[in-house]
Structure 1
Amino acid sequence: MIKKRIGILGAMPEEITGIVGLLKNKQEVVKGMRTYYVGTINNIEVVVVFSRWGKVASATTVTHLIVEFGITELFFTGVAGAINPDLNIGDIVIASSLIQHDLDARPIMDRFEIPLLGKTNLCPPKEMLDKAVESIGELLSDESLVHLLSSSQSEIFSVLNPKVVVGQIASGDQFFASHEDKGNLLAILPEVLCVEMEGAAVAQVCFEYNIPYVVIRTISDEANDNSVVNFKEFVSQVASRFGVEIIEKLLKKIAL
């Protein structure tokens, strides 16, 4: 039986700091301008690393995790901009499918189709997805995440009653910062919940190496003209804390 070794990716440097703090017997390995933190959490072997930004960088990072560190599963947490109008800041989106919104090789193949794979969407294993939904649902139902924030933080960032939503996440090498950007994306991909820059690329690598994965994003902004307001503060004060709590719960629920 293959021993579990969980890869944990964070989409922002601030998002892995708290997770690294959980490690026992921590070692640091520097490769390819990346620092990989190897150790255990709850007696489970893990490797924690900042994905770096964009599809190429994040795909490189997860390839290192698979080939050089021998991970058997992957958890990816980070922030994303809301595309669906029903999403609020602080909501948690779990990807049931991921698509590269900027992939277009027409007329050679269909729009969004991944060359050689014949797929437009990539989906995590149902078992991992279901357990992630259950785990995060429990954190929200007992208000474990909200209690991580002070009343002033909840008010400042408008994180009052976060919910978990499952659906499509779109990835591409573009930061969405206007209503026009959102409208253009929804016109071609109406089912997209949120947008970020790494998840679908990471999913493609995991698919090709047959590594189970789950991608979880905390909504940090509305992907419009106010997207950059308090973004760094949100990541350090909210998303990073949510990420630590989510990873601990996932390790208990999924990895055991």
Structure 2
Amino acid sequence: MTAFFAAEPEEAEALREALAAQETLEAPFPLYQGEGLLVAETGVGKVAAASAVAHVLTRFAPRESFFLGVAGALDPTLRALDLLLAEEAVQWDVDLTPFGRAPGETAFGVRFFPSDPGLLARVEGAARALGFPHRRGVVATGDRFLAQREEAMRLRALHGAHAVEMEGAAALMVAWRFRHPMALVRAVTDGAGEEAALDFQAFLGEASRRLGLLARALLAY
């Protein structure tokens, strides 16, 4: 079984439609089943994402997982609707520096949580087959929607991050703890600046549709 996770209702609905996941399952969050797959709508934020991933891994033990959704670009070369394939993700709002930790480093001693390399290669192949612009990079995750360009640039310099969002590093941390293969993929909707909220709304629908097509293509690889 393959599990697909998304935070926003629009993202999850696009996955459900593309993957024909129509059977509703009982869970603390919206959860749907299709043939050999699950689609989970985690809700926004790190706690919501982590708890949903842990629930699905514990209850269903899927073979592999993909966390798909949208993000704001920190790298100015990224354009709206580009796909960012996250090689790793960091929680930018974790700060244990008074204890000698690096910015974003968790109490586990891990700062960057990785996507599974094999799954990421599959995502790359599916994106290429669909003709979707894509690149690999680093995602910064935090429990705040970033709408200040100066802070966005600070995060890019501090963590080497290419995009920012609110769930990915937490989901990958759970997968890391469970030793479960997961890949994180983000579609760019905005530039994490002053116009981010407006751009997010403008591109959310099309970005979600593309992620649904990507998810369907992944099942063929």
After TM superposition, the score normalised by the length of structure 1 is: 0.81
- 1:217-243 CA-partner distances (Å, limit 9, x unpaired): 00000000110114224212x012101
Give the distance between the partners of 1:138 and 1:47, measured in 2 at CA: 23
What one-letter code is carried by the residue in structure 1 that aligns with 2:112?
Answer: N
On the 8 A contact 1:170/1:195 being kept in 2, the answer is yes
Change (3 A) 1:25 1:195: closer
Give the distance between the partners of 1:19 and 1:242, measured in 2 at CA: 9
Q: Structure 1 segments of 4 or more deviating over 4 A?
A: 22-25
Is the counterpart of residue 169 in structure 1 residue 139 in structure 2?
yes
Structure 1, unaligned stretches of length 5 or more? 146-162
Which of 116, 120, 126 matches 1:135?
Answer: 126
Q: Which residue of 1 aligns with 2:51?
A: 60
Is the counterpart of residue 20 in structure 1 residue 25 in structure 2?
no
- Helix, strand or coil at the partner of 2:114: coil
On the 8 A contact 1:124/1:213 being kept in 2, the answer is yes
On the 8 A contact 1:8/1:46 being kept in 2, the answer is yes
- 1:144-201 CA-partner distances (Å, limit 9, x unpaired): x5xxxxxxxxxxxxxxxxx211011110111111212212212322x21000000000
On the 8 A contact 1:58/1:202 being kept in 2, the answer is yes
Which structure has the highest helix share of the two?
A: 2
On the 8 A contact 2:156/2:162 being kept in 1, the answer is no
Which entry has the higher C-alpha Rg, 1 or 2?
1
On the 8 A contact 2:189/2:199 being kept in 1, the answer is no
Post-superposition shift, 1:202?
0.1
Give the distance between the partners of 1:121 and 1:56, measured in 2 at CA: 18
On the 8 A contact 2:91/2:142 being kept in 1, the answer is yes
Give the distance between the partners of 2:202 and 2:75, measured in 1 at CA: 23
1:103-142 maps to which residues of 2 (within 5 A)?
A: 103-111=94-102, 112-116=104-108, 118-140=109-131
On the 8 A contact 1:11/1:79 being kept in 2, the answer is no
Is the counterpart of residue 251 in structure 1 residue 219 in structure 2?
yes
Is the counterpart of residue 39 in structure 1 residue 31 in structure 2?
no
- Helix, strand or coil at the partner of 1:114: coil
Taking only the aligned residue pairs, the percentage that are identical comes to 29
RMSD (Å) for aligned C-alpha atoms: 1.6
- Larger mean Cα displacement after TM superposition, 12-21 or 201-210: 12-21
On the 8 A contact 1:66/1:72 being kept in 2, the answer is no
Post-superposition shift, 1:31?
2.1
What one-letter code is carried by the residue in structure 1 that aligns with 2:105?
Answer: E
What one-letter code is carried by the residue in structure 1 that aligns with 2:191?
Answer: E
Give the distance between the partners of 2:71 and 2:34, measured in 1 at CA: 28
Give the distance between the partners of 2:95 and 2:78, measured in 1 at CA: 27
Give the distance between the partners of 1:25 and 1:229, measured in 2 at CA: 30
Structure 2, unaligned stretches of length 5 or more? none
After TM superposition, the score normalised by the length of structure 2 is: 0.94
Give the aligned length.
220
On the 8 A contact 2:19/2:212 being kept in 1, the answer is no
